[in-house]
Amino acid sequence: MHMPTLRQLQFFDALARTGSFSRAAETCHVTQPTLSAAIKELEALLQVQLVEREARGASLTHAGEEVAARARTVLAETQDLVAAAHEAGKPLSSAFRLGAIPTVAPYVLPKILPKLREAYPDLKLYLREDMTERLLEGVRARELDAALIALPWDAPGIETEPLAEDEFLFIAPKSHPLAAKNGLDPEDLAEADVLLLEDGHCLRDHALSVCSLPTRAKSTEVSATSLQTLVHMVAGGLGVSLVPRLAADAGVTAGTDVSLRPFTHPLIGRTIGLAWRAGSPRKGEARLIGEVVRESLKGGLVPV
Amino acid sequence: MHMPTLRQLQFFDALARTGSFSRAAETCHVTQPTLSAAIKELEALLQVQLVEREARGASLTHAGEEVAARARTVLAETQDLVAAAHEAGKPLSSAFRLGAIPTVAPYVLPKILPKLREAYPDLKLYLREDMTERLLEGVRARELDAALIALPWDAPGIETEPLAEDEFLFIAPKSHPLAAKNGLDPEDLAEADVLLLEDGHCLRDHALSVCSLPTRAKSTEVSATSLQTLVHMVAGGLGVSLVPRLAADAGVTAGTDVSLRPFTHPLIGRTIGLAWRAGSPRKGEARLIGEVVRESLKGGLVPV
DNA sequence: ATGAGGTATAGATTATCTCTATGCATATGC
DNA sequence: GCATATGCATAGAGATAATCTATACCTCAT
């Protein structure tokens, strides 16, 4: 059976995206006649007209749309093949794009980067800090190879692996009544002024669920943009809050005069985990990175 | 990003299947050095060793297995792309492989073939008669583009469309008591000697469910290999049976001296439908064929 | 040892891909 | 209304890469 060339499909994909022979040729780094000829040949091979040549550029026919969509998946899967081969050959020896949520990134990345550098000297790690939803969008869109997030997080087409339990600690001004109370319980928070992170941070939702309150009930007026800010606000006497042990151990309260105390029991907190696209060719490499993270967090956090 | 060639993937797929450079070269209709060079280049591109060159042929490395699997899906989807383009351009203008179950094929195909020939003169229709399960296996394996079966039939990865309701008629020797009974009801069959088709025919299961009896309870000693045989057995006085209207209208009882009567109510029967692989590029063409079948059956059967 | 089966290498040939240069059609500006 | 700009097609030359034949090399079996 006669088959098109991947090159032809690449050209046609570019043509479909740009809607112009010349611009498509540019993005493919070939001249316009080259691309024109290739498309013509593709049409001859498929025995269908794929594009309408118009005065100003080109538009796809119905068949063209169909072929363009299929071409995209073929190209994507070929890239996956290359990535998978590379992973199988020598894992973590090229570019890897890792995302992390803001309440994890500053406290985990400094720990793992040296270890990764040592274990995988050829690894070029690109980092992106963003909130869970946007990270997972990136993962799905193949812009990220994996993401450090808080589990559980249900998302179709995403696979996850838990790495460590991250306990929530209570934080309050030294003068606050709860700072001295014996046997600290989550229910004690019901009465207090609980400060939260901005909307979109999953830690905000976790904190709210700990307080057993609806999402918008608490302190909507003030919310912090980062854990560091949150600590400063607590230190300034604006209220109390929760801080994950991960951040506390990393010294997020250093230099401030706040009381930091664990809850008695049960252990309340979140699960730090790694997420990747289901069927990703770099799943194995993601797990390797997860292993390094797990190892790095072993000191303070409870591994899973 | 650098990509392999589809040709290279084809070569590698052949190598993976045959386990030999020379035999792979043969199946690809190139010489062995050509294929060897292509594989070498592919390995260089992916920066992984894909095959272990052994004294007697070659075996895949772990990376090779991974790449081979992915190469197969890429190649399959590229073929789908070609088929889809072809369908979009001029539907039913090349080879189409249609399956049909034995209790449908002889009565439907003669009706639709002339119509198809007229409507789609370029169509080259390849036919295969087999039982449902094997047909659907073929559909899944891309050996068949569609299959005429009796619905409902649950199968993962298969999509179906109902075409017509095919009522069951009662058939008995003229002398049989039930041949003259007023108001024929399925329950009347409980007392009778019901003849069935061989195991594997879905019509056998349908008939049994009409009789409201467990699969093996009835006449296990004798079973017919075809509807024609079944009719002859009934004519010979071996028992009674059910015949779909489709076959009756086509004259399956012609030349035999049997009584053929409808049941009073409710209408009992089966649904004739078309099945194709989910995501098949030829889904549209399958539907076109389904339309012809529906049209052809309009006379006697109840269209859906 | 020697031959058979199977893969790698070398060099020549051929096919193809890509480029530059140019022509043609259609819309835009003066 | 004519000139001009934009965008695609075509032609021919040159560079590249694919494929072939011929042959060397290796391993196993007899």
Q: Where are the domains of chain B?
A: 6-88, 93-164+273-303, 166-269
Q: Is the pLDDT of residue B215 over 50?
A: no
B77–chain A Cβ distance below 8 A for any pair: yes
**Dist. CA B291–CA B283, nearest whole Å:** 12
CB atoms within 10 A of CB B68: 19
* H helix intervals, chain A: 6-18, 21-28, 32-46, 62-89, 105-119, 132-140, 202-210, 227-235, 245-249, 283-297
Give the pLDDT band (50/70/90) at residue B255. Answer: confident
Give the pLDDT band (50/70/90) at residue A266. Answer: low
Q: Which residues of B touch A68 (CB under 8 A)?
A: none
Is the CB of A70 less than 8 angstroms away from the CB of B48? no
Protein side of the strand D interface (CB < 7 A): A 20-23, 32-33, 36-37, 39-40, 53, 56-58; B 5, 7, 29-31, 33-34, 37-38, 41, 55-56
In the CATH scheme, what is the code of domain A6-88? 1.10.10.10
**Dist. CA A289–CA B3, nearest whole Å:** 26
- Stretch B112-118: mean pLDDT: 92
Work out the mean pLDDT of chain B and round it to a whole number: 86
B6–chain A Cβ distance below 8 A for any pair: yes
Is the CB of B89 less than 8 angstroms away from the CB of A5? no
Distance B82 CA to D7 C1' (A): 29
Closest A-chain CA to B93: A47
Q: What is the pLDDT of residues A35-90, one digit of tens each?
A: 999 999 999 899 888 988 877 778 888 888 999 999 999 999 999 999 999 888 88
Closest A-chain CA to B80: A70
Query: Partners of A261 in the beta sheet?
Result: A170
**Dist. CA A209–CA A215, nearest whole Å:** 8
Q: Which helix (H) or strand (E) holds B12?
A: helix B6-18
Cβ B6 vs Cβ A5: under 8 Å:
yes
Peptide bond into B110 cis (omega under 30): no
What percent of chain A stands above pLDDT 90? 40
Q: Is the pLDDT of residue B168 over 80?
A: yes
Q: Is the pLDDT of residue A213 over 60?
A: no
A26–chain B Cβ distance below 8 A for any pair: no
| pLDDT score, position B177 | 80
Question: Which is nearest to A9 in space by CA: A96, A87, A72, A85?
Answer: A72
**Dist. CA A117–CA A114, nearest whole Å:** 5
Give the pLDDT band (50/70/90) at residue B109. Answer: very high
Give the pLDDT band (50/70/90) at residue A221. Answer: low
Q: Which residues of A touch B75 (CB under 8 A)?
A: 3
The reply to whether domains B6-88 and B93-164+273-303 share a CATH topology is no
Structure tokens at A183: 């046997």
Question: Which is nearest to A15 in space by CA: A61, A54, A58, A52?
Answer: A58
Place of tokens 């076959």: B247
Give the pLDDT band (50/70/90) at residue B156. Answer: confident
What percent of chain B stands above pLDDT 90? 41
Question: Which is nearest to B145 in space by CA: B103, B101, B99?
Answer: B99
Please indicate whether residue A56 or residue A195 has the higher confidence score (pLDDT): A195
Place of tokens 């024929």: B184
Cβ A135 vs Cβ A146: under 8 Å:
no
Q: Is the pLDDT of residue B93 over 60?
A: yes
**Dist. CA B96–CA B83, nearest whole Å:** 11
| pLDDT score, position A216 | 47
**Dist. CA A159–CA A273, nearest whole Å:** 10
Distance B271 CA to D4 C1' (A): 68
Q: Is the pLDDT of residue A209 over 90?
A: no
Q: Is the pLDDT of residue A126 over 70?
A: yes
**Going by DSSP bridges, is the β-strand pair B223-224/B196-197 parallel, antiparallel, or unpaired?**
parallel
Distance B30 CA to C19 C1' (A): 30
**Chain B, window 260-289: residues with a beta carbon less than 8 angstroms from a chain A beta carbon:** 281
Q: Is B100 helix (H, G, I), strand (E, B) or coil?
A: strand
Structure tokens at B128: 């295969």
Size of interface A-B (CB pairs under 8 A): 113
Domain A93-163+271-303 class? Answer: alpha beta
Q: Which residues of A touch B279 (CB under 8 A)?
A: none
- Stretch A213-242: mean pLDDT: 75
The distance of B70 to chain A (nearest Cα, Å) reads 6
| pLDDT score, position A272 | 93
Comparing CB atoms, the residue among B1, B7, B82 nearest residue A79 is B1
| pLDDT score, position A215 | 45
3-state secondary structure B54-71: ECCEEEECHHHHHHHHHH
Q: Is the pLDDT of residue B187 over 80?
A: no
Cβ B110 vs Cβ B295: under 8 Å:
no
Question: Which is nearest to B233 in space by CA: B263, B210, B251, B253?
Answer: B253
A95–chain B Cβ distance below 8 A for any pair: no
Give the pLDDT band (50/70/90) at residue B68. Answer: very high
- Stretch A206-233: mean pLDDT: 71
| pLDDT score, position B152 | 82
Distance B2 CA to D24 C1' (A): 33
- Stretch A108-115: mean pLDDT: 92
Distance A33 CA to C22 C1' (A): 12
| pLDDT score, position B11 | 92
A86–chain B Cβ distance below 8 A for any pair: yes
| pLDDT score, position B71 | 94
| pLDDT score, position A222 | 66
Radius of gyration of chain A (CA): 26
Q: Is the pLDDT of residue B188 over 80?
A: no
| pLDDT score, position A9 | 94
Show which positions of strand C are touched by protein (CB under 7 A).
Answer: 5-11, 17-21, 25-28
Q: Provide the CATH topology of domain A165-269.
A: D-Maltodextrin-Binding Protein; domain 2 (3.40.190)
Among the ranges given (A126-130, B33-37, B138-142, B264-268), the one the predictor scored with the smallest mean pLDDT: B264-268
**Dist. CA A238–CA A194, nearest whole Å:** 9
Question: Which is nearest to B271 in space by CA: B142, B93, B132, B150?
Answer: B150
What superfamily would CATH give domain B166-269?
Answer: Periplasmic binding protein-like II (3.40.190.10)
Q: What is the pLDDT of residues B13-30, one digit of tens each?
A: 999 998 889 899 998 999
Is the CB of B281 less than 8 angstroms away from the CB of A90? no
Radius of gyration of chain B (CA): 26
Is the CB of A46 less than 8 angstroms away from the CB of B82? yes
The distance of B123 to chain A (nearest Cα, Å) reads 15
DSSP letters of A111-138? Answer: HHHHHHHHH-TT-EEEEEE--HHHHHHH
**Dist. CA B133–CA B79, nearest whole Å:** 25
| pLDDT score, position B216 | 47
Among the ranges given (A16-25, A140-149, B209-218), the one the predictor scored with the smallest mean pLDDT: B209-218
* H helix intervals, A121-271: 132-140, 202-210, 227-235, 245-249
Q: What is the pLDDT of residues B31-52, one digit of tens each?
A: 999 999 999 999 989 988 898 8
B82–chain A Cβ distance below 8 A for any pair: yes
B105–chain A Cβ distance below 8 A for any pair: no
**Dist. CA A282–CA A276, nearest whole Å:** 8
Among the ranges given (A14-28, A89-103, A257-271, A285-299), the one the predictor scored with the smallest mean pLDDT: A257-271
What percent of chain B stands above pLDDT 70? 95
Mutate to test the interface with A, among B70, B75, B90, B97 (most CBs of A within 10 A): B70
Show which positions of strand D are touched by protein (CB under 7 A).
Answer: 6-12, 18-22, 26-28
The nucleotide closest to B15 (CA, C1' atoms) = C7
Question: Which is nearest to A172 in space by CA: A78, A87, A229, A243?
Answer: A243
What superfamily would CATH give domain B93-164+273-303?
Answer: Periplasmic binding protein-like II (3.40.190.10)
Give the pLDDT band (50/70/90) at residue B84. Answer: very high
- Stretch B82-91: mean pLDDT: 87
Is the CB of A81 less than 8 angstroms away from the CB of B63? no
Cβ B33 vs Cβ B42: under 8 Å:
no
Structure tokens at B273: 């439908």
The distance of B116 to chain A (nearest Cα, Å) reads 22
Q: Is the pLDDT of residue A95 over 60?
A: yes
Question: Which is nearest to A89 in space by CA: B8, B70, B37, B50?
Answer: B50
Q: Which residues of B touch A281 (CB under 8 A)?
A: 70
The distance of B63 to chain A (nearest Cα, Å) reads 5
Distance B121 CA to C16 C1' (A): 36
The distance of A47 to chain B (nearest Cα, Å) reads 7
Among the ranges given (A88-92, B96-100, B273-277), the one the predictor scored with the smallest mean pLDDT: A88-92
| pLDDT score, position A58 | 83
**Dist. CA B197–CA B229, nearest whole Å:** 9
Handedness of CA B110, B111, B114, B119 (dihedral sign): negative
A172, amino acid identity: A
